[in-house]
Structure 1
């Protein structure tokens, strides 16, 4: 029930749709930041900032990650997707839920008149959407037990999105004025940390680590990574997330504070990142492809930003200044690491899926271009340079409390994002393929927003 059984050559019909909608959310968030909406112009935990945070983390990163997982989890486990027909419904629920949730935040911030039930309704729709995603991917993983190493990261990530959604749904009830807040008076001030770590650290980062293992090895033509380092990265990372979730809930129940929980989890997380980074460096050293493609170089640069964020975060915590640098660190993780990694991989995945869809049916019967012939790396590289330069400038501006400088830096990031979007559209339209190879007999230009499968 679902995808075709030819693993690695079938294309999930709706993956490109997830990517397209995700990029729209990213651009909307960037435009709002350039306009001065949200942090640092308003409180980091205020309704305006929550609009931006959920646009980026749910609309952009989570939607793009879901689309990628629907395509690549079957590749990781050599099993077909459990139910591809669920994927458009999940996308509709996630999109509608986010729109309603954002309307609730805007009402909470006084920007529009709206009923108090907007927040729990939006959260409920998001929970339903993520439940479909987790069920679909979870059943696919379940059918492939015992799981290969990279897929275990995804399994933990799916558990973390369940935790993130559960906390988010509870927060929506508190913010909408129900009695939940009276039962758990410390839920918002302490629970937000668990919600954020489970989402950014577990669902987004840990899942991205697992998928990147497979993609980096494939794109660099490298052998499998060090099994011991991979196990250490997974076990210590899973332990860190378990400590945050289980220890955090117990700390909330007993009202003892989260300091010890975060200290233990932070130590385990640093060990996981060290093992992961060492393993990726090993892939780089043993690669057979000496000249790396643009997407791989940018993925490694994103990984460098993750390492920098971990080092800066640990240094800030040791110096007691973590709270004052929280905004800059969060932006570095969300844009320097996660957004950079996703954009770098979209630059490869979209042409790859387009190639499969267009030239796979005629391969062996007519001359066809290579996947890299669908893109122009030299032209696209300037957009990646601008994106990362703008991101680093934005982090610096946040660290020195320059709101105007931050807006200017994000404007550069937005311009780079638009440029990369154009590159993806050109790849989808086969605009850079030589005319002699563009459309051999039997091949057709794919639809822009949905794949034929």
Structure 2
């Protein structure tokens, strides 16, 4: 709680929804838990050799792993974080929380069905034609439904914080990603052979990835990180957030033009993809500068693990985007681009997500367990909930494993990649164990947990009336 008490009064008011007595998002921990399980599943498949650098990137097994990472891990992680921190960006609660659990169930069920559908395609089973539309419907309902809840809340408070429009733009990209994904599912399963849809499925994969990884996940991560980093570093808000927003909007406006050209039968997608990548690289440069400003103007003298652990993610974001822009005019082969995407997805998005979870989970757990006791009796410090030295070892190992795996993909080395993927799996499991220890308050002594005290639920945050 020292973190909150050291902030100026205006900062405390901005995080009013996060202080004791305020509402915690009931299902955020459930989203985080499901996301982490899908991360382990994807990494386990990589470590088992179900995908290798020498394998076809369009193989159904590859698509299973890709969607476990994008929808299961990164998607659920971002939604869970947004459910808790969107109200912090806007200063107002979301319109409803009733859809949070049904959306989680729909997304998980839809992804499980999608995995079965890809497996059916792999084996040539005719059941794929039945499974894939069900998967598409479940995923569309869950993702678009929860996206609408978040969009409505953020739209109402879009002028409160300059980062809120970034997340709004990310949710718009989510909608485009889902619509394209539904089209792909219908084509891959053989449900439709409409020429326009089939042609779109064949040519729009880069746009699907761009709107998903670059738009929805990256813009939402950038928007939330502006607030999280300023809050945890005790730094003033940056001045060029709107420049980042403008760059992001231009990037995905160009992608939208490329998509419309596909519908119109144009053949300019490659030049437009390159232009959008260049614009996004410039946007990332401004974002990196703003992050540097947050670190330099912080009032917290000693950097905590989440702040230190996010720096490699920012570096890998810049490196992967620079590599992508460089590779496009050089017509780099698929292995090089696969390595760049791997570095982007695991180095930037996953690295940032895991680093911030090492702060978010203890922060929310402390608020739930000890926030109501503040002023009534001594409470443990926030840093007492986690063993930072041990967690830092796992996080550093994760980054090294990701870099090694990406290098193995670029070098087309199957054995090196599998070893690196196994190391990445082990480090991820270590981080998840540390988060589990935090949630059950394993490092807090018995005196601090004596009555009046209520143990937080592992997956569900207790409401004020339940404490």
State the TM-score, normalized to the length of structure 2.
0.92
Q: 2:371 aligns with which of 360, 373, 383?
A: 360
Instruction: Give the distance between the partners of 1:110 and 1:95, measured in 2 at CA.
Output: 23
**CA distance 1:209–1:145, change in 2 (3 Å):** closer
Matched, 1:267 2:278: yes
**CA distance 1:145–1:332, change in 2 (3 Å):** closer
Matched, 1:404 2:415: yes
**For residue 220 of structure 1, what is the aligned residue in structure 2?**
233
- 2:43 aligned counterpart, secondary structure: helix
- 1:116 aligned counterpart, secondary structure: helix
Instruction: Give the distance between the partners of 2:381 and 2:125, measured in 1 at CA.
Output: 51
Instruction: Give the distance between the partners of 1:112 and 1:216, measured in 2 at CA.
Output: 48
**For residue 178 of structure 1, what is the aligned residue in structure 2?**
191
**Cα distance per residue 1:4-49 (max 9 Å; x no partner):** x962232111100000011111101111111111343531122111
> Alpha-carbon deviation of 1:314?
1.9
> Alpha-carbon deviation of 1:322?
5.4
- 1:224 aligned counterpart, secondary structure: coil
Contact 2:52 2:417 in 1 (8 A): no
**Cα distance per residue 1:322-357 (max 9 Å; x no partner):** 534111011101101111111111111111111111
Correspondences of 1:26-425 after superposition (within 5 Å)? 26-110=39-123, 114-225=127-238, 227=239, 229-321=240-332, 323-425=334-436
Instruction: Give the distance between the partners of 2:147 and 2:315, measured in 1 at CA.
Output: 29
Instruction: Give the distance between the partners of 1:146 and 1:282, measured in 2 at CA.
Output: 22
**Runs of 5+ consecutive residues of structure 2 not aligned to the other structure:** 1-14
**Runs of 5+ consecutive residues of structure 1 not aligned to the other structure:** none
**Count of aligned pairs:** 446
Instruction: Give the distance between the partners of 2:197 and 2:400, measured in 1 at CA.
Output: 43
> Alpha-carbon deviation of 1:113?
6.7
Instruction: Give the distance between the partners of 2:134 and 2:366, measured in 1 at CA.
Output: 40
Instruction: Give the distance between the partners of 1:338 and 1:29, measured in 2 at CA.
Output: 15
Q: Which stretches of structure 1, 4 residues or longer, exceed 4 Å deviation after superposition?
A: none
Deviates more, 1:248-257 or 1:86-95: 248-257
- 2:18 aligned counterpart, secondary structure: coil
> Alpha-carbon deviation of 1:267?
2.0
Q: 2:457 aligns with which of 428, 437, 447?
A: 447
Correspondences of 1:13-28 after superposition (within 5 Å)? 13-28=26-41
> Alpha-carbon deviation of 1:147?
4.8
Instruction: Give the distance between the partners of 1:159 and 1:411, measured in 2 at CA.
Output: 35
Contact 1:248 1:261 in 2 (8 A): no
Contact 1:367 1:440 in 2 (8 A): no
> Alpha-carbon deviation of 1:249?
2.2
> Alpha-carbon deviation of 1:122?
0.2
Instruction: Give the distance between the partners of 1:88 and 1:179, measured in 2 at CA.
Output: 32
> Alpha-carbon deviation of 1:143?
2.4
Matched, 1:8 2:18: yes
**CA distance 1:115–1:306, change in 2 (3 Å):** closer
Contact 2:391 2:434 in 1 (8 A): yes
Instruction: Give the distance between the partners of 1:19 and 1:148, measured in 2 at CA.
Output: 25
Contact 1:366 1:441 in 2 (8 A): no
- 1:37 aligned counterpart, secondary structure: coil
Contact 2:95 2:149 in 1 (8 A): yes
Instruction: Give the distance between the partners of 2:265 and 2:179, measured in 1 at CA.
Output: 19
Instruction: Give the distance between the partners of 2:202 and 2:298, measured in 1 at CA.
Output: 46
**Cα distance per residue 1:164-209 (max 9 Å; x no partner):** 0000001111112133442344212321111110000000011100
Instruction: Give the distance between the partners of 2:445 and 2:233, measured in 1 at CA.
Output: 25
**Cα distance per residue 1:294-346 (max 9 Å; x no partner):** 11111121111101101211222243215341110111011011111111111
> Alpha-carbon deviation of 1:112?
6.4
Instruction: Give the distance between the partners of 1:154 and 1:209, measured in 2 at CA.
Output: 8
Instruction: Give the distance between the partners of 1:199 and 1:385, measured in 2 at CA.
Output: 27
**Cα distance per residue 1:209-254 (max 9 Å; x no partner):** 01011111111111111x2x22211101111011102332223422
Contact 1:397 1:406 in 2 (8 A): yes
Contact 1:168 1:195 in 2 (8 A): yes
Deviates more, 1:90-99 or 1:288-297: 288-297
| Structural RMSD (CA) | 1.6
